[in-house]
């Protein structure tokens, strides 16, 4: 595994395709961003969230749906009409967990909708400011989605919306690892595991993600 990871980090053509799935190509340049302390590309995060989704179909884990960063950006700026096509072939309300990655102010974060518990939580690995409005925007989206697809009204009093505090979730200790934190939040939450990792795990997670992406298989 170490040899494969080092080969992926080698000085090959930056445009070499090292993994292709989910109608996405991961090129060597994307993989290079997993080395050291570089920011991840959105492509890497999207690919990884798709791996999490695929794992949920094959093993006894909660059913998962994951959106892209473009979803929340369109929803926040243009409203429900701009994103309703994202679920043309998906019934969100049959899923257990929905991941909504968010990119704001050059920072990657993650919102998590848990249909089982009726919660919407916002996970920020540099939680200097709570952003409950993101949860509110997503609940409004769910209301409209439910009305459009099921003709049912969601009861706001039954739902809990929370922006997680810094002491409640793992936090980054640099300005570079937010993308890795997003991926690992999703990895752990999709398996109903407690978030027990820390900043010190990031170098290992980065190398592990290289192998997982190349082999399209989560360890």
Catalytic residues: 107, 124, 178
What is the Cα–Cα distance from 166 to 129, expressed in whole angstroms?
Answer: 9
| Inter-CA distances, 70 with 74, 146, 196, Å | 6, 21, 29
What is the Cα–Cα distance from 55 to 209, expressed in whole angstroms?
Answer: 15
Cβ neighbours for 163, distance < 8 A, ≥ 6 positions apart: 121, 122, 124, 127, 130, 131, 132, 134, 135
What are the structure tokens assigned to 65, written together? 């749906």
Q: At what angle do helices 42-58 and 202-215 cross, to 10 degrees?
A: 70
Query: Which DSSP symbol is given to 93?
Result: G
Q: Locate tokens 């848990």: which residue?
A: 114
């Amino acid at each position: 595994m170490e040899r494969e990871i080092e080969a992926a980090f080698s000085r090959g053509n930056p445009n070499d395709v090292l993994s292709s799935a989910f109608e996405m190509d991961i090129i060597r340049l994307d993989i290079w961003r997993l080395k050291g302390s570089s920011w991840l590309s959105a492509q890497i995060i999207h690919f990884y969230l798709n791996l999490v989704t695929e794992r949920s179909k094959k093993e006894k884990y909660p059913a998962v749906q994951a959106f892209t960063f473009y979803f929340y950006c369109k929803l926040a700026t243009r409203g429900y009409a701009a994103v309703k096509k994202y679920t043309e072939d998906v019934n969100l309300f049959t899923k257990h967990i929905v991941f909504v990655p968010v990119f704001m102010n050059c920072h990657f974060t993650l919102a998590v909708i848990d249909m089982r518990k009726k919660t919407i939580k916002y996970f920020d690995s540099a939680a200097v400011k709570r952003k409950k409005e993101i949860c509110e925007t997503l609940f409004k989206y769910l209301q409209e989605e439910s009305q459009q697809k099921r003709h049912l009204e969601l009861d706001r009093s039954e739902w809990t919306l929370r922006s997680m505090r810094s002491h409640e979730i793992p936090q980054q200790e640099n300005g570079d690892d937010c993308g890795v934190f997003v991926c690992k939040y999703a990895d752990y939450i999709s398996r109903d595991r407690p978030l027990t990792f820390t900043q010190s795990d990031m170098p290992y997670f980065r190398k592990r993600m290289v192998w997982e992406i190349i082999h399209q298989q989560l360890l």
